[in-house]
Amino acid sequence: MQISSHISLKPFNTFGIDASARLFAVVRSISDVQELLQHRDYKNNSHFILGGGSNILLTKNVDALVIKNELKGIEISAETEEHALVKCAAGEVWHDFVLYCIDRGFAGIENLSLIPGNTGASPMQNIGAYGVEIKDTFHELEAIDLETGQLVTFSNADCEFGYRESVFKRNYKDRFIILSVTFRLSKKPVFHTEYGAIKQELDNMGITELSIKAISQAVINIRSSKLPDPRKIGNSGSFFKNPEVTAETYQRLINEFPGLVAYPLDNGNYKLAAGWLIEQSGLKGYRSGDAGVHALQALVLVNYGHASGQEIYDLSSKVLEAVDQKFGVMLEREVNII
């Protein structure tokens, strides 16, 4: 087990922030993790687990042991006429895993195509898009408890999934390193095309017979047209959560702002489109130095080249203040701030 010191994390976060790790180790197997737990540098330092680096904003150097999760491998662990359990190692790129499942006719995650990051982070964040969330197909995950060294299995209920939330972002933050995630996928797909512009894009593509591959391609087309490629311009995708408000607050807002974009929820509340709120606050395309609000999707903050993490964080604070001042709604950051 090699542990390096003072390693730049710029290649390992999609914002392209040039922060450094005081100590840095890569784990590629369960035995690597077990060996690391016995290492003096692990025992004598705090630690931070890094996956694909697509949902973090580094505002400072990391004065800890950064553990880069690069476990690989995908396997079909069980199969019936109707379903397949597909197990994916945490270090696999999420979009590659989605394509693996689509190629085999396993449905349920096609709407989550092109979401950046690694598979291990998907349950932590309960990633979601176009009417689908991880919790809908999640079966279980395996993880090592970094306090005890024990292998632990988490069921769907154990993860306490919420909107872009799980127990791993709250009670168990930085306590477990996820090894693999298993999904229960269907061989008889139920198509979700009612969200966003999927139907319109399918029409543009000339699709007359629905398939999970067609829906995946539609999602890829939509995301590619609206969201910046982190390989070309630093970003972490959606920076803010869509806020949930009461029916009373919704009624107040819709009376004052008839163009309000909102979606009714089963609990009687409404989910507001954070991107619309930011745009109406006059910040879509706003730029301060190399930190900016993307010109095509106001939910996305970008690094145009040499912005520091603190500068992007300060911009996010400006967004929060502007939306609150105009609408009386406080947005919440979706990205993990380090």
Q: Is residue 299 part of a domain?
A: yes
pLDDT at 169: 84
Pair (243, 320) in one structural domain = yes
Pair (45, 85) in one structural domain = no
Pair (252, 333) in one structural domain = yes
Q: Which of 110, 201, 244, 334 is catalytic?
A: 334
Q: Is residue 24 part of a domain?
A: yes
Q: How far is CA 299 from the centre of its chain?
A: 13
Helices 94-103 and 212-226 cross at an angle (nearest 10°) of: 150
Q: Is residue 193 part of a domain?
A: no
pLDDT at 338: 92
Pair (123, 157) in one structural domain = yes
Q: Which of 110, 122, 140, 164 is catalytic?
A: 164
**Which CATH number fits the domain that encloses residue 39?**
3.30.43.10
Residues 196 and 221 sit within 8 Å (Cβ to Cβ): no
pLDDT at 295: 92
The dihedral sign for the CA sequence 163, 193, 285, 9: positive
Residue 28 annotated among the catalytic residues of the structure: no
Q: Which of 54, 238, 281, 308 is catalytic?
A: 238
E strand residue ranges, the chain: 3-8, 20-27, 47-50, 56-57, 62-69, 74-79, 83-89, 128-129, 132-133, 138-145, 151-155, 176-186, 234-238, 244-245, 262-264, 270-272, 287-288, 291-293, 300-303, 336-337
3-state secondary structure of 148: coil
pLDDT at 163: 83
**Which CATH number fits the domain that encloses residue 257?**
3.90.78.10
Domain boundary among 22, 44, 69: 69
Residue 164 annotated among the catalytic residues of the structure: yes
Pair (179, 251) in one structural domain = no
pLDDT at 164: 83
Pair (104, 79) in one structural domain = yes
pLDDT at 248: 95
Helix (H) or strand (E) holding 224: helix 212-226
Q: Is residue 211 part of a domain?
A: no
Pair (267, 177) in one structural domain = no
Pair (292, 330) in one structural domain = yes
Domain count, the chain: 3
**Which CATH number fits the domain that encloses residue 138?**
3.30.465.10
Pair (52, 122) in one structural domain = no
Q: Specify the pTM.
A: 0.86
Pair (27, 124) in one structural domain = no
Q: What is the DSSP string of 39-100?
A: SHHHHTS-EEEESSSSSEE--S-EEEEEEEE----EEEEEE-SSEEEEEEETTSBHHHHHHH
Query: In this structure, what token pair is assigned to residue 46?
Result: 């705090």
Pair (92, 136) in one structural domain = yes
pLDDT at 16: 94
Q: Is residue 216 part of a domain?
A: no
Pair (147, 165) in one structural domain = yes
The dihedral sign for the CA sequence 120, 117, 133, 81: negative
How does pLDDT run along the chain (338 residues), one tens digit per residue?
789 999 999 999 999 999 999 999 999 999 999 999 999 998 899 999 998 888 899 999 999 999 999 999 999 999 999 999 999 999 999 999 999 999 999 999 999 999 988 999 999 989 998 889 999 999 999 999 998 889 999 999 999 998 888 999 888 888 899 999 999 999 999 998 887 688 889 998 999 899 999 999 999 999 888 888 888 899 998 899 999 999 999 999 999 999 999 989 889 999 999 999 999 999 999 999 999 999 999 999 999 999 999 999 999 999 999 999 999 999 999 999 99
Q: Is residue 198 part of a domain?
A: no
Q: Is residue 200 part of a domain?
A: no
Q: Domain range for residue 10?
A: 3-69
Q: Is residue 218 part of a domain?
A: no
